[in-house]
């Protein structure tokens, strides 16, 4: 009677999926399919298939544990409908109270790639020191060597945690800089609207 069940439970792909569950629940950060294949000592294609199974099993609305694709890999997180419960228990030191200055600094580092405090100050027009220090402390940006090799100003880049907090699969998911118009078109349109009203 329980034959079919047993068959399923000893299915090698299911075994692999269980191994992946185990790896994902102990990992401190997202794991790439390659990481998982190496650790599970299995081939990449099968790992991808098993990840497909797990994504289905651990999805919003079905499970309290959700498997998400983020920061270049896969990671477990809490289901969105448990957010309120999570808020009662856990601090959110990373994202709480990010100031406008911090967000601007973060955008500059995310878009311009490794850049120094003087680079950031040049774009923002004001010193970036405290914003940078705050972002480093939160772990959203980290050091990436110095300008001109040694001796120059320290450069910063965004961390995988940044992608995780903002729910990005990778930095390339950010809107392209070219698509962030300078707003001139919108202003022009509004002015034209007024002008049209006038002649009407």
Report the nearest approach of other proteins to the CB of residue 101 (Å).
Answer: 9
* Cα end-to-end distance, the chain, whole Å: 81
- As a whole number of angstroms, the distance between CA 149 and CA 143 comes to 13
Burial of 14 from C-beta contacts in 10 A (0-12 / 13-18 / 19+): middle
Q: Among other proteins, a second copy, none, what binds residue 145 when CB lies within 5 to 8 Å by partner kind?
A: a second copy
147 burial level (CB within 10 Å; 0-12, 13-18, 19+): middle
Q: What, of other proteins, a second copy, none, does residue 6 touch, CB below 5 to 8 Å by kind?
A: none
Tokens 């007024």 sit on residue: 194
Q: Which stretch binds other proteins (CB under 8 A): 3-11, 13-21, 46-54, 90-98?
A: 90-98
Binding positions for other proteins, 124-183, rule CB under 8 A? 124-126, 137-138, 140, 146, 148-153, 161, 164-168, 173-177, 179-183
Work out how close the CB of 101 gets to a second copy at its nearest, in angstroms, rounded to a whole number.
5
Cα–Cα distance list, 187 to 75, 181, 193, 196 (Å):
42, 11, 10, 14
Q: How far is the CB of 60 from a second copy (least distance, A)?
A: 10
For residues 191 and 59, give the distance between their C-alpha atoms in angstroms, rounded to a whole number: 47
12 binds, among other proteins, a second copy, none (CB under 5 to 8 A by kind): none
The H-or-E segment that residue 141 falls in is strand 141-146
Binding segment (CB under 8 A) for other proteins, from list 7-15, 44-52, 189-197? 189-197
Nearer to other proteins, 1 or 194 (CB): 194
Q: Residues for the chain: how many in total?
A: 200
Q: Which is nearer to a second copy, 45 or 143 (CB)?
A: 143
The CA–CA distances, whole Å, from 174 to 114, 132, 162, 184 equal 16, 20, 12, 21
Which CB sits closer to other proteins, 57 or 146? 146
Nearer to other proteins, 45 or 143 (CB): 143
In this complex, which beta carbon is closest to a second copy, that of residue 11 or of residue 99? 99
């Amino acid at each position: 009677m329980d034959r079919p069940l047993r068959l399923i439970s000893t299915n090698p792909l299911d075994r692999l999926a269980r191994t992946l569950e185990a790896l994902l629940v102990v990992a401190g950060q997202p794991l790439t399919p390659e990481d998982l294949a190496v650790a599970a000592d299995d081939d990449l294609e099968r790992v991808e298939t098993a990840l497909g199974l797990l994504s289905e099993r651990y999805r919003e609305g079905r499970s309290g544990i959700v498997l998400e694709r983020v920061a270049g890999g896969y990671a477990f997180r809490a289901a969105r409908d448990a957010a309120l419960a999570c808020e009662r228990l856990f601090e959110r030191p990373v994202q709480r109270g990010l100031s406008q200055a911090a967000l601007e600094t973060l955008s500059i580092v995310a878009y311009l790639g490794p850049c120094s405090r003087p680079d950031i100050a040049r774009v923002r027009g004001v010193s970036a020191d405290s914003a940078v220090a705050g972002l480093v402390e939160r772990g959203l940006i980290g050091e990436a060597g110095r300008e001109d090799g040694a001796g120059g100003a320290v450069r910063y880049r965004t961390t995988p945690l940044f992608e995780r907090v903002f729910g990005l699969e990778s930095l390339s998911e950010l809107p392209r800089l070219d698509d962030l118009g300078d707003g001139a078109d919108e202003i022009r349109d509004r002015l034209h609207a007024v002008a049209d009203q006038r002649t009407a």
